[in-house]
Structure 1
Amino acid sequence: MFATFMVNTWLVATIVAVIAGLVGFFVVVRGASFAAHALPLGTFPGAAAASLLGVNPLAGLVVAAAAGVVGISWLGRRGRHEVATALCLVMLLGLGALFLSMTTEYSQAVYALLFGEVLGVSDSDLVSVAIISAACMLLIALLFRPLLLGSVSAELLEAQRVSSRHVEFAFLAILALATAMVLPVVGALLVFSLMVGPACAARSLSSRPGPAVFLSVVFSLLTVWAAIALSYVSDWPVGFFVGTIGALLYSLGWAWRRPRKQRPAVHAAVR
């Protein structure tokens, strides 16, 4: 489990978990779960096109994620945000089907992108992930207050002379970068679980932004580390364990928070 060939696996998984925990907090507080689900699936055709052209799949993921962000932002100005997200998702998935039909040598790569393949991470891949994660962390640090304020009320954000549209675009850009980085590890179908499950559990335990972000990162790290260890022992996909642990964390957070929500109502009824 801790052999030499696994060193890059643990490193890239740790980086991915930290970014997923940070971005996942804002996904939860901003109610952007659908975008967090749609963007990973929308980046899939980028990897398919990159494989078809013989270039690094990560580059294709970033390009497709950027296209998804631009499409969602542009269409969202002219209609409902969730409708714009759905339209972009459908269009990108259609492109992915087209690219896949042009090659017969993509089956293993398709499986890896859908369900994750964290083993065999090269040094160049590790460097790329580290650069993208540093960009994500820098953007989050610079935009932490506007992102948090915008999740409460767009009017409050505009009152601070900050454009809510620009903040929304920046959030989608951060989400897209995080998606492109996380997808090769846990797969397009389960990026959603890593970003939402730990963050929801953290929000259930703390309503304060600082502790909630910290707990979200900790839960995300524990999820990925446990998933790698269990996958190594059982030879089952990492994505399966990530999805299962993410759902378990969400359930435990809900079970923890529910009695505390009921107590004020009970006290009010007694009075």
Structure 2
Amino acid sequence: MFSDFMVNTWIAASLVAVVAGCIGFFVVVRGATFAAHALPLSAFPGAAAATLLGVNQFAGLVVFAALGVAGISELARRERHEVATALCLVALLGLGTLFLSLTSEYAQSVYALLFGDVLGISEAELPPLALMAVVCIAAILLLFRPLLLSAVSPDLAASGGIATRLTEIAFLGILALATAIALPLVGALLVFSLMVGPASAARALSARPAVAMVLSAVIALVTVWAAVALSYLTNWPIGFFVGGLASLCYIGGRLLK
């Protein structure tokens, strides 16, 4: 479990968990769970485009996540936010279908990006992963007050000089970057549960925002560690354990409350 090739897995899983836990707190507070579900799926076609063009998959994930943010932000000015998110998701998934149909070398990579490939993290992938994780956490800490205030009371935030639209774009940008970080490890279908489950449990356990965010990161970290260990011992998919444990975290938090 702690052999050389597993060290990269533990490091990457820890980075992803901390980032997902921190941004997940704001996903829950802002009621942005649909966006947290849609952005991983809309970023996923970026990997298909990168495979088709023969470039780094992470670059494709970041570009398409950014397109998702731009599309949601622009469409939200004309439509309800959930409608804008759905329209953007449908458009990007349509592009993903096209890209996948044009290449014959995607099967395994597509499966990995949908459900995660915890044992496929190489040592060369750790430095950029760590850098992106630091950028995400730094941005969250820097924007902690505007993100929180605009979620609790947009009118009060606006009266206090906070640009609520720019704050929303910044939040979606951080969420998109966190998605691109987590996608190769836990997959597009499980990023959502890793962000929402631990954060919901943390919110149930504490009403203090800073404490709840730290608790969310800790719960996400324990969840991913347990999922990696159980996946290694049973040879079952890590996605199953991430989703199941995240759900148990929420149920446990509600019961303790």
TM-score, normalised with respect to structure 2: 0.98
The count of corresponding residues between Structure 1 and Structure 2 is 257
Tell me, in whole angstroms, the C-alpha distance in 2 between the residues paired with 1:226 and 1:120.
Answer: 18
* CA shift for structure 1 position 124: 2.2
Aligned pairs for 1:152-167 within 5 A: 152-167=152-167
Letter in 1 for 2:23: V
Deviation at 1:120, TM superposition (A): 2.7
Q: Which amino acid aligns with 2:177?
A: L
Q: Which amino acid aligns with 2:164?
A: S
Aligned partners of 1:108, 1:81: CA distance in 2, in Å? 34
CA distance in 2, matches of 1:179, 1:192: 9
Given the alignment of the two structures, is residue 144 of structure 1 paired with residue 144 of structure 2, yes or no? Answer: yes
2:65 is matched by which residue type in structure 1?
A
Distance 1:52 1:118 in 2: 23
CA distances 1:99-158 after superposition (whole Å, capped 9, x unpaired): 110111111101100000011311221111111111111211110000010110111110
1:110 match: 110
Larger Rg: 1
1:77 matched to 2:77? The reply is yes
Structure 1 contact 154–164 (Cα < 8 Å) conserved: yes
Match of 2:97 in 1: 97
Q: Give unpaired runs (5+ residues) of structure 2.
A: none
Matches within 5 A, 1:225-244: 225-244=225-244
- Bigger drift between 203-212 and 121-130 goes to 121-130
Structure 1 vs Structure 2 CA RMSD: 0.8
**Cα offset, 1:255, TM superposition:** 2.2
Letter in 2 for 1:18: V
Cα offset, 1:251, TM superposition = 1.2
Counterpart in 1 of 2:46?
46
Runs of 4+ displaced beyond 3 Å:
none
1:160 Cα shift?
Answer: 1.0
Render the CA deviation track for 1:137-196: whole Å, top value 9, x for unaligned.
121111000001011011111011111000000000000000000111111011100000
SS of the counterpart of 1:161?
coil
Quote the residue 2:67 is aligned against: 67
Q: TM-score when scaled to structure 1?
A: 0.93
Within 2, Cα distance between the matches of 1:157 and 1:226? 39
Matching residue's letter, 2:101: S
State yes or no: 1:213 paired with 2:217: no
**In structure 2, distance between residues paired with 1:141 and 1:91:** 32
Letter in 1 for 2:247: A
Shift of 1:16: 0.4
Kindly indicate whether the alpha-carbon contact (under 8 Å) linking 1:5 and 1:120 is maintained by their aligned counterparts in 2.
no
The letter for the 2-side match of 1:81 is: H
